[in-house]
Chains A and B, each alone.
Chain A
Amino acid sequence: MTPRPSIDHIRRPQILAAAAEVIAERGVAGTRIADVAERCGVSPPTLLYWFDSKEQLLAEALIADDDRFYEELEQRLGGAATAAGRMVALIDTATESADDFALWMELWTWALRDAGLRAARERFDARWRAAIEAIVADGVAAGEFDNTDPPRTALAIAALIDGLSAQAALGDPEVSNARVRETVLAGAESLLRAELPASAGAGGPASP
């Protein structure tokens, strides 16, 4: 057993970024290992040393994408003083990063037919719903939201965001992000039976 060369720790993120790009452009079915290798400047054997299949590349690229998302989310949640503000920050973060939507669509469609990707989707979804649920539960505890079932509400908010992101991906990219945000916010207000502030940072009256 030879240890894996340490340089690959640097290459791995590059490979995953290239995989994300190529898969978003061509889909898993239209992607060849050689295309990804070419895009990130490694040889196909090097790439295959790390990744067994295109399905694995997709799953790992999504994990990297997801980790970046949560890093950003954590930062933005830190800027909000209330649960309502954190909910707005979460919705903002989720609805702004629509660029990688094609990659998530790949996961959904491949999860219809691939058990490994189906399990991966369940893990991503569980993490996402837990993040939403934590904010709902905080808001309920603080008396900000009038809600009796945070897990169920988290599922509904996650579903709203997915459904609207799909609508947006099919519509006019110029107007869609703002519309998605507005629609999710209004839906979340109904579900939480609470009013949400206009922006994540707004703790009191809106400043000029």
Chain B
Amino acid sequence: MADRETARERILEAACDLIAAEGIDDVRIARVAMRARASTALVHHYFSTREELLEQAILHSFETVGEERFAETGGEAPTATAALAEAIEECLPRPGHLERDWVLWVELWLRAAREPGLRPLAATLYARYHEWLEEVLRRGIDAGEFTAPDDVPALTDRTMALLDGLGLRALLRDPTMDIDAARAQVADFLAPQLGIDPKELATSVTKM
């Protein structure tokens, strides 16, 4: 049983790597199998169609990387401001694992824009992201560290949009801005609305 679990995960990891490297449309089952050191028959055993494999791979990426990140973020931060700074950091495409995660996120946008069948998955992931970020904001409001904005869910939406729009450009190596600029922009946007110092929010907290 444990072996089977491992093979399935290996296949999903291989699929994530290939989606990130080559794009979701170019991923072929045979290449996923080769990369996972599995047979195509084994891939088909776990995933009856290519679509199912790709969907499960994206879900896998967000569940492992995402949940680890969402669960841990800010837990040990001394202040809500530090926790929020950390959360902002977790939402930007830093090179390494987060960057692969980000490419998958963009691939999911693309795919879901074309295929309504994928939208519930995307909506679920967005809802989870929203819930997590809103929680970070509420922590500071409840502690009296942030002044309460009029509408916390709406501010969460705007912050997510800004993070996504800026993160996308950083991911694409936009020549006019990078991750540091994105972080500073988000801090300057949020800080006045929460009554805190943007400098504290823009402090890079690279733990990982």
Contacts and interface: CB of A to CB of B under 8 A. Distances in A.
B126 A170 contact: yes
Nearest to A159: B165
A159 B110 contact: no
A25 B114 CA distance: 6
A30 B25 contact: yes
A187 interface: yes
Interface in A85-116: 101-102, 105-106, 108-113
A109 B175 contact: no
A27 interface: yes
Nearest to A129: B176
Interface residues on B, range: 35 or more
A26 B111 CA distance: 10
Given A162-B168, A170-B109, A190 B189 contact: yes
B173 interface: yes
Interface stretch (B61-69, B78-86, B135-143, B156-164): B156-164
Interface in A146-163: 152, 155-156, 158-163
Interface in A180-207: 183-184, 186-187, 190-191
Given A112-B172, A122-B175, A166 B157 contact: no
Given A122-B175, A167-B160, A183-B157, A159 B169 contact: yes
A166 B174 contact: no
A19 to B, nearest CB: 15
Contact of A158 (B165, B175, B192, B193): B165
Contact of B113 (A101, A183, A191): A101
Interface residues on A, range: 35 or more
A125 B174 contact: yes
A163 B171 contact: no
Contact of A108 (B22, B123, B172, B175): B172
B161 A159 contact: yes
B121 to A, nearest CB: 9
A191 B114 contact: no
A40 interface: no
Contacts of A122: 174-175
A24 interface: yes
B165 A160 contact: yes
B205 interface: no
Those 3 A-B pairs whose CB atoms lie nearest each other, nearest first: A159-B165, A29-B25, A163-B161
21 contacts: A27-B25, A29-B25, A30-B25, A101-B113, A102-B110, A105-B110, A109-B107, A122-B175, A126-B176, A152-B185, A156-B189, A159-B185, A161-B161, A162-B164, A163-B162, A164-B157, A167-B126, A169-B113, A170-B123, A183-B157, A187-B161
Interface of B: 22-26, 103, 106-107, 109-110, 112-114, 119, 122-123, 126, 154, 157-158, 160-166, 168-169, 171-177, 185, 189, 192-193
